[in-house]
Amino acid sequence: MARFEITGGNRLSGRIKIAGNKNAVLPIMAACLLTEDTCTLENVPLISDVVHMAKLLEVCGAKISGTGSSKLVINCQKIKSQELPGELTEKLRASVLLLGPILSRTGELKMAYPGGDIIGRRPLNTHIQVLEALGCLIDQDENFFTAKAKRLKGAKIFLQEASVTATENAIMAAALADGETQIKRAASEPHIVDLCQFLVKMGASISGIGSNVLTISGGKKLTGTTHRIRLDHIEVGTFAILAAVTSGKVEINPIVKEDLDMTLLTLANFGVNFKIDGDSLIIADNKLHAVEKVVTDVWPGFPTDLMAPMIVLATQAEGVTILHDWMYESRMFFVDKLLSMGAKVEIADPHRVLVYGPTKLHCQRLDTPDIRAGMALVIAALAAQGKSVIDKAELIERGYENIAERLAALGAKIKRLD
């Protein structure tokens, strides 16, 4: 296990580069299974989740070079149906993304249930709805999920939930299915747009990209391509919050402005002062004040992955803020760690907290509960007085590339220790 030692209280300054989108690269890696040709992925984030996904693909027969670098070359010419064991799937919620592509190629997949962060119940109901609509037979027991299909067939699907991963599975499965598939109530996050654009480069026919209604004309042979992974808008929001909480002046670059509308609106409401200069977001000279409420929502609403850092921001804002994440009932449970640092937070229920600010945070020894909450604790430790220790730092590194080195370049006093 790894830990971060952080001495807080420094004003951060400088420029930080945004990495490729974690939530885009994983489904795009899975989508490489849809062709026998070679695919090249660029701007790949250097995170452990990419390594875990690469191992899963290799178990399925993929040949991969460049693992651990920003460029992956993936060939899936010889793919076979597989039983994916729990020791692999439990490390990565995104292992569920193999369902659609593997079924398209082989007609059968048996896999142990996916793991990942413990932020709330994330059942496979919507994935099952999608696969059954496309002609799969599903069987489940305590340990494994099995899906079989002689041939996937296009269908009209109204998703029972606007699930990101279920939408991605539906898109990938439909790309090789016979006939046309229409997906209504599709999720439309930037990483889904990136997946669709990758598939179009491969030869897929997809209309409605970026909307909640997607139409895929399946059955076409897909070919290899080269694709650059979209920038991570969650990193942009996270580092903007970091700059605001530490009273720093930070240039965040490069950004995709259209991916940041709700994040920038929320930051502005908190009194975060920013300007956009070309493809850079510059944060400086903030006077933070509370807002009445921050509520997560489906895209383009406020993203759930920024809720934990936003709670830390609210601890430094004048007044009372209600923060509500209705998506995951365990997202708020990390706030007990903020309480131990001196924050004034009241848990209304598993989905809502009231934060009273501003409060002076002090150092503490903390455990990382999940990727986003772990990063929120890093932000809190950088704002606190004294030396904090954050254990299980490897969980944070699942989603943030070389985070200790990148923050140190801004002037943060942070060390990574094994």
DSSP letter for each residue of 263-304: HHHHHHHTT--EEEETTEEEE-S---B--SEEEB-STTSB-G
Cα 217 to Cα 238: distance, rounded to the nearest angstrom: 37
Inter-residue contact 248 to 409 (CB < 8 Å): no
23 belongs to an annotated ligand binding site: yes
- What's the pLDDT tens digit per position in 28-46? 999 999 999 999 999 999 9
Q: Which CATH number applies to 3-19+231-417? A: 3.65.10.10
93 belongs to an annotated ligand binding site: yes
Domain over 22-228 is classified CATH 3.65.10.10? yes
232 belongs to an annotated ligand binding site: no
Inter-residue contact 102 to 57 (CB < 8 Å): no
Tens digit of pLDDT at every position of the chain (418 positions): 899 999 999 999 999 999 999 999 999 999 999 999 999 999 999 999 999 999 999 999 999 999 999 999 999 999 987 788 888 888 888 999 999 999 999 999 998 888 754 433 457 899 999 999 999 999 988 888 899 998 999 999 999 999 999 999 999 999 999 999 999 999 999 999 999 999 999 999 999 999 999 999 998 999 999 999 999 999 999 999 999 999 989 999 999 999 999 999 999 999 999 999 999 999 998 899 999 999 999 999 999 999 999 999 999 999 999 999 988 777 788 999 999 999 999 999 989 999 999 999 999 999 999 999 999 999 999 999 999 999 999 999 999 999 999 999 999 999 999 9
Residues of the chain with CATH 3.65.10.10: 3-19+231-417, 22-228
Write down the catalytic residue from 37, 49, 117, 367. Answer: 117
331 belongs to an annotated ligand binding site: no
Catalytic site residue 117?
A: yes
327 belongs to an annotated ligand binding site: yes
- What's the pLDDT tens digit per position in 248-303? 899 999 999 999 999 999 999 999 999 999 999 999 988 999 999 999 999 999 99
Of 198, 220, 218, 222, the C-alpha closest to 209 is: 198
Q: What is the DSSP letter of 327?
A: S
